[in-house]
Amino acid sequence: MPVTHMTICYIVPVKEYRHLAIHWVIPDHKNIYYCNPESYLSHLIGHEGDGSILSYLKKSGLAIELVSGERNSAPGFNFFTVDVELTIEGLNRWKQVIYIIYQYIAMLRKDEPKEWIFDECKNFNSMNFQFREKERPDDFVSSLAGRMRDYPLVECLSGEYEMREFRPDLIKELLNEYLIPSRMRVFLASKEFTSIAT
């Protein structure tokens, strides 16, 4: 997939760092939060072990960190994001970094979603919920108030971690209809963009 047509936003940060963010607008799945297809994809795309995108980017000298996941935006839509902390070489070859990410997504498209991976995510989310860090009381109350409109009262605390129903159709829909080049927005941050970011 040659990276040709895309919307790019160049950012000049206050302090030096090199960052690539890819955002896709995806459907709001709050009404079926217990299926959590975004968590399934985030688990695979953000994986850090052998055979992962990050592992390949590190070996190629292009990146030092990669994080992916869902960002809630507003009722009706969300964002799925991939954030990459680039090396100097990675900044020079940022289109190749995007190409590598899309190659991995294409590989996921070819494979059927696997229930054992869903179960792995479910266990991982359950552990994250059980051992989450304590929040400051004011932050906790504020986030809890927001979650009360998104989840049933009995799951206000655990709602965002829930994964009860394996829905391969939702995973495939995200891969085939939303995580595609025509729907992506690219954000590139570096001091090197001072001359073009106006």
Count of structural domains, the chain: 1
**Which domain covers residue 123, as residue numbers?**
7-193
Residue 88 domain flag: yes
Residues 6+ apart with CB under 8 A from 52: none
41 falls within a domain: yes
| pLDDT, position 88 | 95
Task: Report the first-to-last Cα separation within the chain, whole angstroms.
Answer: 29
The pLDDT of residue 153 is 76
Torsion of CA 107, 109, 115, 119, to 10 degrees: 70
Structure tokens at 115: 């229930």
Residue 38 has a pLDDT of: 93
- Is-above-0.85 flag for pTM? yes
Q: How many other C-beta atoms are found inside a 10 Å radius of the C-beta of residue 70?
A: 20
118 in any annotated domain: yes
In this structure, is residue 171 part of a structural domain?
Answer: yes
Count of Cβ atoms closer than 10 Å to residue 174 Cβ? 22
Walking along the chain (198 residues) 10 residues at a time, the average pLDDT comes out as: 72 91 92 87 94 96 96 82 97 97 97 94 85 84 80 76 89 96 94 80
pLDDT at 2: 52
